[in-house]
Structure 1
Amino acid sequence: MSGIASHRASPGARAWRGFRGWRRTRPFWGGLFVLLGGAEILFTVWAPLGVVLHVGMQNFIGYLVPYVIILLGVLLWFNPAQRIFYSLIAMICALGSFLTSNMGGFVVGLLFTLVGAALAFAWAPEDPPPAPEPVAEPESAAPAPASPPSAEDPSGVRRVAAPQEQDQNTLPPEEQWRSEPPAWNAPGPGPKHAE
Structure 2
Amino acid sequence: MSPESTGQNKHNLTVYRRGFRTWRGNRPFWAGLFTMLGGAPIAYFPYADLQLGNMTLAMSTTAGAGSLIIGVLLITLGLTMWFHSIVRVFAGVAAILLALISIPVANIGGFVIGFLFALIGGALSISWAPGEPQPEEEAPHTAPLDKQQPESEYAEGALHGATVPPQQPGDHGTASGYGTSSGYDGGTHRAG
TM-score > 0.5, shorter chain as reference: yes
1:40 aligns with 2:41: yes
Residue 144 of structure 1 deviates from its aligned partner by 2.9
1:115 aligns with 2:120: yes
**d(CA) in 1 for partners of 2:170 and 2:87?**
55
Residue 105 of structure 1 deviates from its aligned partner by 0.4
Q: Which residue of 2 aligns with 1:52?
A: 59
Q: Which residue of 1 aligns with 2:172?
A: 144
Q: Which residue of 2 aligns with 1:124?
A: 129
Greater relative contact order (CA < 8 Å, ≥ 6 in sequence): 1
Task: Give the aligned CA root-mean-square deviation in angstroms.
Answer: 3.6
Residue 142 of structure 1 deviates from its aligned partner by 6.8
**d(CA) in 2 for partners of 1:142 and 1:80?**
59
2:186 to 165, 186, 191: 165
Which 4+ residue blocks in structure 1 deviate beyond 6 angstroms? 6-9, 140-143
Larger radius of gyration: 1
**d(CA) in 1 for partners of 2:64 and 2:8?**
57
CA contact (8 A) 2:81 2:87 kept: yes
Normalising by structure 1, we get a TM-score of 0.63
**d(CA) in 2 for partners of 1:123 and 1:81?**
11
Normalising by structure 2, we get a TM-score of 0.64
For 1:151-181, what per-residue CA distance to the aligned partner results, in whole angstroms no more than 9, with x for missing partners?
xxxxxxxx9588553799xxxxxxxxxxxxx
**d(CA) in 2 for partners of 1:44 and 1:73?**
19
Residue 61 of structure 1 deviates from its aligned partner by 1.3
**d(CA) in 2 for partners of 1:19 and 1:143?**
59
Which moves more between the two structures, 65-74 or 40-49?
Answer: 40-49
Question: Which ranges in structure 1 are unaligned for 5 or more consecutive residues?
Answer: 1-5, 146-158, 169-195
Larger relative helix fraction: 2
Larger relative strand fraction: 2
For 1:70-125, what per-residue CA distance to the aligned partner results, in whole angstroms no more than 9, with x for missing partners?
10011100000100000100111111111211111001110010011101110011
1:165 maps to a residue whose letter is G
1:94 to 92, 95, 99: 99
Residue 7 of structure 1 deviates from its aligned partner by 10
1:81 to 82, 86, 111: 86
Residue 60 of structure 1 deviates from its aligned partner by 2.4
Distance 1:18 1:65, change over 3 A: same
Write the mapping of 1:13-32 to structure 2, written as runs, cut at 5 A: 13-32=14-33
1:104 aligns with 2:109: yes
**d(CA) in 2 for partners of 1:43 and 1:143?**
85
Question: Which ranges in structure 2 are unaligned for 5 or more consecutive residues?
Answer: 1-6, 51-56, 141-166, 174-179
Q: Which residue of 1 aligns with 2:4?
A: none
